[in-house]
Amino acid sequence: MRRKLAAGNWKMNGSRTALAEVEALIAAHPAPGCEMLLCPPATLIAAMAATAKGGPLKVGGQDCHHKPSGAHTGDLSAAMLAEAGASHVILGHSERRADHGETSALVRQKAEAAKAAGLVAIVCIGETEAERDAGRELDVVGGQLAESLPDAATGADTVIAYEPVWAIGTGRTPSEAQIAAMHRFLRERLVARFGEGGEAFRLLYGGSVKPDNAAAIFAIPDVDGALVGGASLKAGDFGAIITAL
Ligand code: PEP
């Protein structure tokens, strides 16, 4: 049985004052029916973890370096995130792939580093609009899945987030049929590679998930939760998504 996951990605937003939203979220959802995770900027991980007090809200990073230490100015290792209070880390988000040239091969190394540090990796994959228009979405996403996941990945240490790039922050979402087709395809690929273990990976949908479309998206087979950007910044909106899950 895959436990549903509502994961929020604050991106480069939020300051210590935003922790009031976290307190409100925890107060409104003391025993959520799903796993609840927020990934703030790295500067807020320790403070958010302190606010969460080991309760139902988990805290994650938005990226990590693939090496454990060394001369990598500005980077953070997976172990550093864990020491700050993170239990998860988002890897290969399309903004990192686009802004920092991250390849699936690098994402795979990062996922290995996350596993070594005891973090759950949320590996992001998704096609651009041009790739979908060209009918290449399965090729692209299937390739990213194959290349980004370590052979040793399991459903316990790895979550996959399908995030069509054209749906992120745009207010546009794929049709329910398009989400269903992609998640079915991903499940088939996971089972083909990992056997029965492929059934254990949670598949999140991400891209303009809001309180008003969450229930319909969560009703789609093989959607095990969501990776939420903008709507995770407000306790009320993220809470409504958690309730829909
Ligand atoms: C994201 O950045 O992962 C995301 C899904 O953003 P939004 O929900 O704002 O589209």
CATH code for the domain in which residue 41 is found: 3.20.20.70
Ligand 1 atom at minimal distance to the Cα of residue 167 = 10
Q: How far is the C-alpha of 159 from the C-alpha of 198, rounded, in Å?
A: 11
Q: Does the Cβ of 55 fall within 6 Å of ligand 1?
A: no
For helices 211-218 and 176-194, the axis angle rounded to 10 degrees is: 50
Range of the domain at 56: 5-244
Residue nearest to atom 4 of ligand 1 (CA): 229
- Residue 97: the pLDDT is 98
183 as an active site residue: the answer is: no
The reply to whether 169 sits in an annotated binding site is: yes
Residue nearest to atom 2 of ligand 1 (CA): 229
- Residue 1: the pLDDT is 83
Residues 59 and 40: beta-carbon distance below 8 Å: yes
Ligand 1 atom at minimal distance to the Cα of residue 90 = 3
Q: Which of 58, 39, 41 is nearest to 124 (CA)?
A: 39
Look up residue 203 and give its two tokens: 């598949």
93 as an active site residue: the answer is: yes
Q: Does the Cβ of 206 fall within 6 Å of ligand 1?
A: yes
| Domain tally, the chain | 1
Q: How far is the C-alpha of 117 from the C-alpha of 68, rounded, in Å?
A: 9
Q: From first to last of its 245 residues, what are the pLDDT tens digits of the chain?
A: 899 999 999 999 999 999 999 999 999 999 999 999 999 999 999 999 999 999 999 999 999 999 999 999 999 999 999 999 999 999 999 999 999 999 999 999 999 999 999 999 999 999 999 999 999 999 999 999 999 999 999 999 999 999 999 999 999 999 999 999 999 999 999 999 999 999 999 999 999 999 999 999 999 999 999 999 999 999 999 999 999 99
- Residue 137: the pLDDT is 98
- Residue 230: the pLDDT is 97
Q: Which of 65, 95, 163, 183 is catalytic?
A: 163
Q: How far is the C-alpha of 236 from the C-alpha of 81, rounded, in Å?
A: 27
DSSP E strand boundaries for the chain: 5-9, 35-39, 57-61, 88-91, 120-125, 158-162, 202-206, 225-228
Q: Does the Cβ of 222 fall within 6 Å of ligand 1?
A: no
- Residue 65: the pLDDT is 98
Ligand 1 atom at minimal distance to the Cα of residue 124 = 3
